[in-house]
Amino acid sequence: MRALIVSGGALPAAPVTVPDPEPGPGQALVEIHHASVNPSELRHIGHFPDGAVLGYDSAGVVLRAAEDGTGPAAGARVVAFAAGAWAERAAFPTDALAVVPDGVHLADAAALPMAGLAALRSLRATGPLLGRRVLVTGASGATGRLAVQLARRAGAHVIAQVRDPARAGDLGAETVTDLDGVEPVDAVIELLGGPYLVAAWRLLRPGGNLQSVGWAAGEPAVFVPNSTFVLGEARTISSFGDAAAPAADLAYLVELVARGELSAGVGGRWSWERPGEMAAAIRDGKVRGKAIIDMDPTRTDDPANNQL
C-alpha cells in the first residue's frame, strides 16, 4: 500500500510504498478514504522516527472486522482516532472506531477526531455548563470552533477570543480579540498558551477551572508573584491530553453532525499526492478549519460524494 511517512525528519513529497498492515485480534483493517491534518502534527514531524506513518484522524470503510468480534462489521463506514491515518489502509484498535451515520460525508467525519475529542473532553472536565460563562481562546481554530459549538449547545454563554474577526466568521458567540475588559468567567478552554493563558487565568472566578489544551502561541506563560492566589474556593488549571478509548465520544460527535447540531468545520481539501501544498496552506494561515487529505478524489462510493 501507499502512505505518507516521515522522511528525513520531514513530510515526504508524495506517498511512498510501505508494507501492508497486519491487524491484531482487537484491530479492524480499514480502507482510508479521507484523513485530516492537525497543525501540531506538522510542527512535530521531527519527533517521529523515519518511516513512521503519519496522522491520527481518518475515516473510511472496514475491510476486515476484528478477529475477536469487537467493533464495527466489514463494510461499515467508520471514523477513527489512531496512529497511522495517512495511508491507504490501517489496522486500528476497535475502541478507536465509531460507525459514521448515513448522510454524513466521510470527509466531515475525518475532520472530527483530535479536535472534537479535545473540545468535548475538556469541556466535560469543567463540569456542568448550563448558564455558565465559558471562555474559549483561539476560537477560530478547529478545536476552538468545536468547543464554542458544544458549549453553546450545553447552554453556556460563550466568549470566543479570536485574533482576526474577519477571518473567524460568525461563531455564534460573544467575540473578542483580546481579554481586556472581559467579565469574569466560570470555565476556560485555553488553546493558545503564553500570555493568553495568563490573561485567561486572571478572568477565572473562584471555583472555576481552566483546561490547558494547546500552546499555539509558542510563547512562555509568565505569572507575576501572587497571581495564583485568590480568596474563596480554589481555582484550578488542568492539563489536557486524554485520548484513551475514543470510540463512544467519536460516535457522539458524528451523531451530532448527522442531526445538524454540529459543524465539522472542513476548511479545505487536498489530494495526498501533493502534501507540500496542504502543509504550506496550513503554515501560511490560509485554512480556516480542518485540512482534509483525499486518498482518492475520484472515489464515488461515499453517499455524500456530491461535495467533492
The CATH number that applies at residue 223 is 3.40.50.720
Question: Which structural domain, as residue segments, surrounds residue 60?
Answer: 2-111+264-307
105 located within any domain: yes
Q: Which helix (DSSP H) or strand (DSSP E) does residue 175 occupy?
A: strand 174-176
CA dist 131 to 120, 121, 144, 170, 185, Å?
Answer: 18, 19, 19, 21, 11
One domain, residues 151 and 177: yes
pLDDT digits (tens, 9 = 90+) for 185-209: 999 999 999 999 999 999 999 999 9
Three-state secondary-structure class, residue 279? helix
Looking at the 3D structure of the chain, how many domains does it have?
2
One domain, residues 213 and 126: yes
One domain, residues 176 and 140: yes
Q: Letter for the amino acid at 83?
A: A
pLDDT at 43: 87
103 located within any domain: yes
pLDDT at 302: 60
One domain, residues 81 and 148: no
User: How close are the terminal C-alpha atoms of the chain, in Å?
Assistant: 23
One domain, residues 177 and 214: yes
pTM value?
A: 0.93
The three-point CA angle 159-164-168 to 5° equals 65
Backbone angles phi, psi at 7, to 5 degrees: -135, 110
245 located within any domain: no
> Above 60 in pLDDT, residue 212?
yes
One domain, residues 89 and 178: no
Cβ neighbors of 268 (< 8 A, separation 6 or more) are 278, 281, 286, 287, 289, 291, 292
**What whole-number distance in Å separates Cα of residue 280 and Cα of residue 275?**
9
257 located within any domain: no
pLDDT digits (tens, 9 = 90+) for 245-297: 999 999 999 999 999 999 999 989 999 998 999 999 988 888 888 999 999 87
Q: Letter for the amino acid at 129?
A: L
**What whole-number distance in Å separates Cα of residue 133 and Cα of residue 62?**
41
Q: Letter for the amino acid at 163?
A: R
Cell numbers standing for residue 32 = 482510508
pLDDT at 46: 87
> Above 50 in pLDDT, residue 71?
yes
One domain, residues 26 and 74: yes
At how many degrees (to 10) do helices 247-258 and 113-125 cross? 100
- Residue 135's closest CA among 143, 153, 147? 147
**What whole-number distance in Å separates Cα of residue 8 and Cα of residue 238?**
35
One domain, residues 166 and 271: no
225 located within any domain: yes
pLDDT at 40: 86
Query: Any bridge partners for residue 149, and if so which?
Result: none
255 located within any domain: no
User: What's 101's domain CATH number?
Assistant: 3.90.180.10
One domain, residues 167 and 270: no
pLDDT digits (tens, 9 = 90+) for 223-248: 999 999 888 999 999 998 888 999 99
41, 48 Cβ separation under 8 angstroms: no
The last residue of a domain, from among 187, 205, 239: 239
One domain, residues 61 and 149: no
The three-point CA angle 158-189-194 to 5° equals 120
One domain, residues 289 and 229: no
The last residue of a domain, from among 196, 224, 239: 239
One domain, residues 20 and 38: yes
pLDDT at 288: 82
pLDDT at 242: 87
> Above 80 in pLDDT, residue 48?
yes
